[in-house]
Structure 1
Amino acid sequence: MNCLQSWPEPVVRVQSLSDSGIHAIPERYIKPLTDRPGLKTCSEIEEHVDIPVVDLQNLFGKDQALREETLRCISRACQDWGFFQAVNHGVSHDLMRRTREVWRGFFNLPLEVKQVYANAPSTYEGYGSRLGVEKGAILDWSDYFFLHFMPVSLRNQSKWPAQPSSCRELVAEYGAEVVKLCGKLLKAMSTNLGLQEDYLQKALGGEDIGACLRVNFYPKCPQPDLTLGLSSHSDPGGMTILLPDHDVAGLQVRKNGKWITVKPVPNAFIVNVGDQLEVLSNEIYKSVEHRVIVNSAKDRVSLAFFCNPKSDLLIEPAKELVSKDRPALYNPMTFDEYRLYIRTKGPCGKAQVESLKSNR
C-alpha cells in the first residue's frame, strides 16, 4: 500500500468551490460526453419506473405466510434489480433524521475545523474529496467523510468528528442499529439462496464482519449537466444500506441500459447488493451500476453504510451454488486485494467485479 500513502495532486474541497460563487466548474470536473447526465441518447431516456419497495415488518414475525411473501419480495429485488427501498425496517426514524442532520452540521463547519480530519488514500478514513489515485483523473463533484465501524478493533472514535458535539454518540448509536438491520437482511438473503440462514454472515467474517460509513456531501453545482456527484460504479463490498437525502433526489440506477432516478420513500433505506454478494451467490444476486447526479439549487447529504467481508477472507462462490451446469463464475480474491484495485482506479462501472470472472 506504499503507493497509496498520499494523493497525486493537491486536494481541492468541492464545497469551497461551490461556496466561492463560481459560474463554471473547473475542467477537472467535466465528464466525457458519454458520461454526462445532461446528454441522453434515445436508448438512455429515463423510464417512469422505480426500484422495488419492500416492507420488512413481517420478515421475522410469527405469520409464516407473510414472512415468506416478504422473503420473495427481497429475492425478486436482489435478482432483478440489485436494489430495493426498505420500509418498516426497525431503525428509529428520529435517529435517522438526527444522524443525517448532525453530518450536515459537520460539513457546514469552517474549513479549518474539517481539515483536521483530512484523509489519505491508504485507508480513506477521514474527510475527503476524491476516490482513486490516478494523476490527472476527472474528479467527482462531492466531498465525503469515511470512517470504520466494524470490527471494533478498527473503530477509532478519535478519528470521528468531535464537532458537532453529538456526532460521535449518534454515529455509534446509528451504526449499531444499521449493523442489526444488515444481519437480518443477510439471513433473509441466505435463506432465499437455499443456504443455511447464517451462511452469508459467516462467509463475510461472522463476528469479524467489516462495516464502514461514508457520509457524502454533494454541494450545489452551477453546471450539473456536465458532471456527476459520484461516477458510475457498483459497490465493492457485500451490501450497502443508504440513508438518502429525502428532500433532493440524486441516486440513479442503471436498468436495461437506462438511468433511473430513484425517488426516495420517506423514512426508507435504500439497500443494494455489492460485488461480494454477487460473487458469493455465483451471480444469482447482481450488483448494479449506479451513480449520483447533482443539483444547481440545493446541497445533498447521504449516508452510505457498507457491510463488507473481513479483509483477509477469500471470497468465492458458495459451493452449494456451484454445479456442472453452473460452474463457479468468479475467481477467488480477498477483499483487501479487491479494495486495492478500487483505490487505485476509482469508480469504474462494473469493470472491477467483471475482472474477477473466470475464463471457463
Structure 2
Amino acid sequence: MINSSFIRKENMGFDGENGIENEKAPNWATSIPVDNVQEMVRRNSYAVPEKYIRNLEDRHGNTCLFSASTNNIPVIDLSLLTDNCKEELKKLDLACAEWGFFQVINHGIAQETLLGMKDAAVSFFELPLEEKEKYSMPPNDIQGYGHAYVASTEQKLDWSDALIMVVYPTHYRKYKYWPATPPGLKDAIEAYSFEVNKVAKKLLSFLSLIVGMDKEGLLGMHKEIMQALRLNYYPPCSKPDQVIGLSPHSDTSTISILMQDEDVTGLQIRHHGEWVSVKPIPNSLVVNIGDVIEIWSNGKYKSIEHRAVINDQKARISYASFICPNDDVEIEPLKQTVGSQEPKKLYKKIRYGDFLRQSMKRKMEGKAHTDVAKIERNIEKDL
C-alpha cells in the first residue's frame, strides 16, 4: 500500500507541506457561475429548467445506454505492453487510429487506491452545499467547485457539477480549492493521482514507439507534465432524454485517463457518426487520445468527441485525469509523421498554453476549438 502522506512530502516540499500554493501558479480560463445542479435536484427532483433542455439534434441518441458496438471498444493490457509484447503494441496502434479510445486493464493501480478515490469523492458530493461552496471556483480560473466552460448566459447548460484541481506540477496547485472535508479526500487525491501519473508515463512511452520515436520521446517533449483532476457529479434527471451531462467535446490534453463508476453507464463516444456507450470494465481505466496527440501525429490518431448522458434513477461520478504538456511547449506535427512533406502538414505550430486557453474560454462545441491549430488549405491547389 502506498503511503499518500509520504507521496505528498516527497513531491511538494515546504510549500506543499504547509498548504501554501505558489502565487505564480497560472490561471487558465474564466467561467460564468451557474446554479448547482445537485442542489436543484435535491429541492425538486422533477424540475428541469429550460436552460438545460437540449434540442433534438443535440440530444440524439441520449437514451442509448448500450449498443451493439459497445463490446468492440478496444481493451489494452498494460502488463503485456510492459513485457514488450509486439502484438499488444499493434493493438494500441489500431486502437488509437481507429477509435481514439480504449480501456486499459492490468494497469497496476491497486483496487484499494481506486476505491479510496471513489469513496472520498462520494463523501464530498454528499456534503451540504454551503460546505462545498467554500471551495467555489474563483472568477478568473476553473480550479475549484462549480462549472467550467460556461462562456455565455445564453448557452445551454450541462446537467452536472464538478470539482477541478491541478495536481502536477505541485507548484501549480491552489490548495485553497482542495477540500479539507471530508477527512481523507486530499490523501485519496494524492494516492490516486500519483498512480495515474505512473500509468500515463508508461502509456506515453508506448505511444512514442508507435509514432516512430524512442521510448522517452513524447515524455521529454512535455518538459514538465501538467496533470489535472476533474471529478464530475451527474445527478439523476426526471427527463434524461432531454438533457446532457457533459456536452460533446474532444479533450485539449495529450491523453486523458478516466475512472468510471462500475454500476452505471454514462460515457458515450462518437464512432463512425454514431454515439457508442462505453460499458465500464471493473477496475479498468478508459484512455482517450487528446488534441495534442492528434496534432503531433498530424491527424493519424484523432481526438474523439465524447459526452456524458444521464439516467433517471441514479447519480454517477466520473474521475477524469488530463495529461498535458507545459504551457511553453510548442506543438506541431512531428517530423516522424510528415517527414519532409511540409505541404502535407495539417496543423501549424502553436504554443500549448495559447491553444489551451483559447479552447477553455469558449463553450464545449465538439472539435470546433481545434480550428485555431489547423492550417487553412487551398483545396484546388492541393488537387
Structure 1, 29-38 or 145-154: larger mean CA deviation: 29-38
Task: Supply the distance in 2 between the matched residues of 1:121 and 1:275 (Cα, whole angstroms).
Answer: 26
> 2:373 aligned to 337, 356, 360, which one?
356
Partner of 2:21: none
Instruction: Return the alpha-carbon distance in structure 2 between the equivalents of residues 230 and 142 of structure 1.
Output: 7
1:231 aligns to what SS in structure 2? Answer: strand
| Counterpart residue identity of residue 69, structure 1 | E
User: Are 1:23 and 2:46 an aligned pair?
Assistant: yes
Counterpart of 1:91 in 2: which secondary structure?
coil
Q: 1:223 is matched with which residue?
A: 239
- Residue correspondence of structure 1 range 187-198 to structure 2 within 5 A: 187-198=205-216
CA distance in 2, matches of 1:6, 1:353: 20
Question: Normalized against structure 1, the TM-score is what?
Answer: 0.92
Which residue of structure 1 aligns with residue 8 of structure 2? none
Match of 1:74 among 89, 92, 96: 92
Asked whether the 8 Å contact 1:37–1:226 carries over to 2, the reply is no
Match of 1:261 among 264, 273, 277: 277
* Aligned residue identity for 1:192: I
Cα distance in structure 2, aligned partners of 1:201 and 1:311: 14
Change (3 A) 1:182 1:113: same
Do 1:146 and 1:213's aligned partners in 2 also have CA atoms closer than 8 Å? yes
Cα 1:298–1:271 change in 2 (3 A) is same
Match of 1:311 among 315, 327, 338: 327
After TM superposition, give the deviation of residue 328 of structure 1 in Å: 1.7
1:48-63 alignment to 2 at 5 Å? 48-50=69-71, 51-61=73-83
Where 2:95 maps in the other structure, the secondary structure is: helix
Q: Which moved more, 1:131-140 or 1:11-20?
A: 131-140
Other-structure match for 1:242: 258
Q: Residue deviations 1:152-208, cap 9 Å, x none?
A: 211233421111110111111111110000000000000011112111112222xx1
1:305 alignment partner, SS class:
strand
Aligned pairs (5 A) from 1:1-360: 7=32, 10-37=33-60, 46-50=67-71, 51-61=73-83, 64=84, 67-120=85-138, 122-205=140-223, 208-325=224-341, 327-360=344-377
Residues 284-339 of structure 1 show CA distances to partners (whole Å, capped at 9, x for unaligned) of: 11100100001100000110000011012211111222235572210122222122
Aligned residue type for 2:55: P
Distance (whole Å) between structure 2 residues aligned to residue 6 and residue 35 of structure 1: 22
The alpha-carbon distance between structure 1 residues 138 and 328, as it changes in their structure 2 partners (threshold 3 A), is same
Conserved in 2, the CA contact under 8 Å of 1:272 and 1:287? Answer: yes
Q: Which ranges in structure 1 are unaligned for 5 or more consecutive residues?
A: none
Distance 2:170 2:158 in 1: 31
- Distance in 2 of aligned mates of 1:211 and 1:123: 16
Report how far residue 354 of structure 1 moved: 3.6
* Count, aligned residues: 349
Give the Cα separation in 2 of the matches to 1:254 and 1:213: 23
CA distance in structure 2 between the partners assigned to 1:5 and 1:289 by the alignment: 23
Percent identity over the alignment?
A: 37
Q: Under a length normalisation based on structure 2, what TM-score does the superposition of the two structures give?
A: 0.86
Q: Distance in 2 between matches of 1:3 and 1:57?
A: 35
How much has 1:123 moved relative to structure 2?
Answer: 2.5
| Separation in structure 2 between the aligned mates of residue 233 and residue 103 of structure 1, nearest angstrom | 24
Q: Deviations over 1:116-148 (max 9, x none)?
A: 000036320000134232231110000000001
Q: Aligned partners of 1:197, 1:237: CA distance in 2, in Å?
A: 20
